[in-house]
């Protein structure tokens, strides 16, 4: 499909559980799925930005992620 | 035609009370409008456009009902206008319940990684079946992790 990023599959929600992002019964046929969430993890593996929405219809906008990355890098763009 | 003395002919001679019909259509349209407005962040994050449609619909319905009850010799709609208003109020209540309550029933996620903590390590298959670990994604600029519900 030409994605410029990896699209990872967490079919049994193991990583979703590890990140404590499980939304029980929220999927089709009441399966457990992820709540929407976005993180920026820097090169050292440290979380620099976490966005946990209060409304499942409201997700982070691309500008928010870009802003968070810029802020974490001290305004550098590289 | 002397409407004031219409007597038994009242039902035939009364005017079409258009604000009731238009208001009802706008209110019903307001409910379905969110299917469209939810596509755009500015009308989704707070549903002002949908609420505006409900407001316009309610205003027209009230204008129509004032006419129907205030000047029943002139305007139709006491009964069906009341039914329209009741249905519109129910639709609005349903919309508010979903938007301001159901969509906000998200888990607490108290143990989710916070700023300053290490992102928990993982390895998951990508779209080509190749296993990708968090460490593979971090160099050189870090990574944005998006937990997507998949069927929204």
Q: State residue B15's pLDDT score.
A: 86
Q: What is the mean pLDDT of residues A14-43?
A: 94
Q: What is the pTM of this model?
A: 0.80
Q: State residue A70's pLDDT score.
A: 93
Q: Which of A39, A38, A32 is nearest to A17 (CA)?
A: A32
Q: What is the mean pLDDT of residues B70-84?
A: 94
Q: Judge whether B74 is closer than 8 Å to chain A, CB to CB.
A: no
The per-residue pLDDT for range B97-116, each reduced to its tens digit, is 999 999 999 999 999 999 99
In this predicted model, which residue has the larger pLDDT, B1 or B31? B31
Contact A51/A35 with Cβ under 8 angstroms? no
Q: State residue B14's pLDDT score.
A: 86
Q: B116 and A46 in contact by Cβ < 8 A?
A: yes
**Spatial separation of the C-alpha atoms in residues B107 and A20, rounded to whole Å:** 9
Q: B140 and A24 in contact by Cβ < 8 A?
A: no
At residue B151 the predicted structure's pLDDT band, cuts being 50, 70 and 90, is low
Q: A42 and B142 in contact by Cβ < 8 A?
A: yes
Percentage of chain B lying above the pLDDT 90 cut:
82
**Spatial separation of the C-alpha atoms in residues B54 and B26, rounded to whole Å:** 7
Q: State residue B147's pLDDT score.
A: 96
Nearest CA in chain A to B146: A38
Q: A55 and B117 in contact by Cβ < 8 A?
A: no
Q: A6 and B145 in contact by Cβ < 8 A?
A: no
Q: Judge whether B2 is closer than 8 Å to chain A, CB to CB.
A: no
Compare CB distances from A43 to B110, B127, B138 and report the shortest one's residue: B138
Smallest Cα distance from B112 to chain A, Å: 5
B132: left (phi over 0), alpha (psi -120 to 50) or beta: beta
**Spatial separation of the C-alpha atoms in residues B85 and B114, rounded to whole Å:** 48
At residue B68 the predicted structure's pLDDT band, cuts being 50, 70 and 90, is very high
Q: B124 and A48 in contact by Cβ < 8 A?
A: no
Q: State residue A75's pLDDT score.
A: 58
Compare CB distances from A52 to B103, B109, B134 and report the shortest one's residue: B109
Q: Which of B58, B64, B66 is nearest to B93 (CA)?
A: B58
Q: What is the mean pLDDT of residues B26-36?
A: 96
**Greatest C-alpha distance within chain A:** 45
Q: State residue B7's pLDDT score.
A: 46
Q: What is the ipTM of this complex?
A: 0.92
Q: Which residues in chain B touch residue A19, judged by CB atoms under 8 angstroms apart? A: 112-113, 120, 147
Compare CB distances from A27 to B41, B138, B151 and report the shortest one's residue: B151
**Picking from A44-48, A72-76, B133-137, which range would have the lowest pLDDT averaged per residue?**
A72-76
């Amino acid at each position: 499909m030409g994605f410029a990023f990896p699209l990872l599959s967490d079919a049994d929600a193991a990583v979703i559980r590890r990140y404590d992002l499980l939304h029980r019964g929220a999927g089709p046929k009441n399966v457990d799925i992820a709540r929407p969430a976005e993180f920026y993890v820097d090169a050292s593996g440290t979380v620099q930005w976490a966005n946990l929405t209060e409304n499942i219809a409201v997700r982070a906008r691309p500008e928010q992620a870009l802003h968070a990355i810029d802020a974490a890098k001290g305004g550098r763009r590289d | 035609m002397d409407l004031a003395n219409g007597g038994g002919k009242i039902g035939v001679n009364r005017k079409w009370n258009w604000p009731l019909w238009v208001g009802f259509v706008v209110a019903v349209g307001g409910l379905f409008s969110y299917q469209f407005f939810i596509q755009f962040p500015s009308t989704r994050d707070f549903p002002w456009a949908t609420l505006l449609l409900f407001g316009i619909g309610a205003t027209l319905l009230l204008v129509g009902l004032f006419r129907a009850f205030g000047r029943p010799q002139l305007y139709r709609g006491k009964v069906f206008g009341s039914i329209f208003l009741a249905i519109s109020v129910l639709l609005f209540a349903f919309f508010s319940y979903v938007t301001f309550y159901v969509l906000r029933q998200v888990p607490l996620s108290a143990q989710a990684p916070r700023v300053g903590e290490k992102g928990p390590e993982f390895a998951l298959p990508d779209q080509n079946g190749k296993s990708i670990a968090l460490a593979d994604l971090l160099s050189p600029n870090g990574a944005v992790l998006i937990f997507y519900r998949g069927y929204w």
